[in-house]
Structure 1
Amino acid sequence: MKSVLEAVIPADHTATITKVENGAMSGTGRKLPRNYDVMHLALRLACVSASLAAVVVMTTAKEKSTISLYGFDLPVYSKWSFSDSFDYLVGASAAAAVHSLIQLLMTSKMLLRKSSAISSRKHAWLLFAGDQVFAFVMMSAGSAASGVTNLNRTGIKHSSLPNFCKPLHSFCDRVAVSIGFAFFSCFLCAMSVVLDVVWLSEY
């Protein structure tokens, strides 16, 4: 039987078929363009930058001023750590930055070796899960911080609670910028999820 197969299929064609079969079994039969890996790297770098910016801007948000209440001028002082929602945003942004930095270093190492940014399906599933988690976490943190900021800007209707952002405009502006970076980081994590799905669909 072996001699008959060898006679029908030349040795060089047999080797080619074996290579194709092995490639299909190992999941390396198809390969995404190099642009995919570059985009993966760029998203990680942008996510690290946005998350760190959210942390830095928020942790520098503090201001002293005075506010008029019932005809009295009262001193006011605001700092980001006074709000649990702002604490949550700082913690979530820091965690997202660490996650993205680790993936950035791993991706850079793989690209320097001229291999794919994602090494296996198991790696891709881990990235898919991690990126989804941090996308939702950043959305949650940004939303929680937005609620507090909106309250500071509008006050409470039908009460004497004033608009604290008038005397503390610098503080509120910094918080708003930090929230913007947090939502941008959420968007970048979501884009990373899309790239993870593309990889899984191709392999």
Structure 2
Amino acid sequence: MINPGEKDMQEPIDVENGKRHPRNYDVMHAGLRLVCLSASLASIVVMTTAKERSTLSLYGFNLPVYSKWSFSDSFDYLVGVSAAVALHSLLQLLMTSRMLLRKSSIISSKKHAWVLFASDQVFAFAMMSGGSAASGVTSLNRTGIKHSSLPNFCKPLHSFCDRVALSIAFAFFGCFLLAMSSALDVVWLSEY
């Protein structure tokens, strides 16, 4: 049998209207933050370790080629955006964890929910733009330029291109997670 005091510990009260919401909402929010932080950090680590040396055969000449992630402004931008998202996710995870340990609601008011919603949207769009910019460069590297003599650089630099593609995949996954977090914020706003 649960006494009324224990029930209050299980279901946090919305301070603004006195309504209750399920504890699993808070746990899902924390889980999304943790996975988003992991995806952003994975994107950074995989991208910043992307470099390779090889040779390229062009019209019978073997040319040495070297590629590194920092040679492209798009890749720099993706790393910067991923770092900003990782920092945002870490701060939100720390605040969420603190509220979970205190057994109180992770969202204290509608104003707080709107701030979370807006920040999640901004970082989701930033992550999407970083992934899109980087994927354009990667696509060009994989296909070359068909109407000119520039070759497919990913044939000799396949490891580099694969690492960049994996980093971009983590960035888009992080964008999806931020969108899911925004959806949770909308659910909270619609119910309370």
TM-score scaled by length of structure 2 = 0.91
2:180 aligned residue (191, 195, 202): 191
C-alpha contact (below 8 Å) 2:16/2:108 kept by paired residues: no
User: Which residue of structure 2 aligns with residue 11 of structure 1?
Assistant: none
Contact 1:85 1:144 in 2 (8 A): yes
Q: 1:47 aligns with which of 25, 33, 36?
A: 36
Pick the aligned partner of 1:132 from 121, 140, 160: 121
Q: Which residue of 2 aligns with 1:167?
A: 156
Matched residue, 1:200? 189
Counterpart contact for 1:30–1:202, Cα < 8 Å = no
Match of 1:77 among 66, 70, 73: 66
Q: Indicate the SS of the match to 1:100.
A: helix
Equivalent position of 2:4 in the other structure: none
Residue type at the aligned position of 2:155: K
Hey, what's the Cα distance between the residues in 1 that align with 2:87 and 2:114?
19
Aligned residue pairs total 180
Stretch of structure 1 that moved more, 176-185 or 112-121: 112-121
Counterparts of 2:109 and 2:97 in 1: how far apart (Å)? 16
SS of match in other structure, 2:105: coil
Q: What is the letter of the counterpart of residue 111 of structure 1?
A: L
Residue in structure 2 matched with residue 59 of structure 1 by the alignment: 48
Separation in 2 of the partners of 1:106 and 1:118?
10
Q: Could you tell me whether the CA contact under 8 Å between 2:53 and 2:66 is conserved in 1?
A: yes
AA in 2 matched with 1:93: S
RMSD between aligned alpha carbons? 1.2
User: Secondary structure of 1:167's match?
Assistant: coil
Structure index of larger Rg = 1
**Hey, what's the Cα distance between the residues in 1 that align with 2:120 and 2:58?**
46
Indicate if the aligned counterparts of 1:85 and 1:141 stay in contact, CA closer than 8 A: yes
Q: Which consecutive segments of 4 or more residues in structure 1 shift more than 3 A? A: none
- Segments of 5+ residues of structure 1 without an aligned counterpart are 1-22
Matched residue type, 1:83: S
Offset of 1:123 from its aligned partner? 1.3
Query: 1:140: how far off?
Result: 0.5
Contact 2:56 2:65 in 1 (8 A): yes
Matched letter for residue 119 of structure 1: S
Deviation at 1:28, TM superposition (A): 3.3
Q: Aligned partners of 1:131 and 1:47: how far apart in 2?
A: 11
2:9 is matched with which residue?
none
* Structure 2 runs not aligned, ≥5 long: 1-12
SS in structure 2 opposite 1:156? coil
Q: Deviations over 1:80-133 (max 9, x none)?
A: 000000000000000000001000000000000000111122211111110000
Q: Secondary structure at the match of 2:107?
A: coil
Is the contact made by 1:67 and 1:75 (CA closer than 8 Å) also made in structure 2? yes
Q: TM-score, normalised by structure 1?
A: 0.86
Who is 2:167 aligned against?
Answer: 178
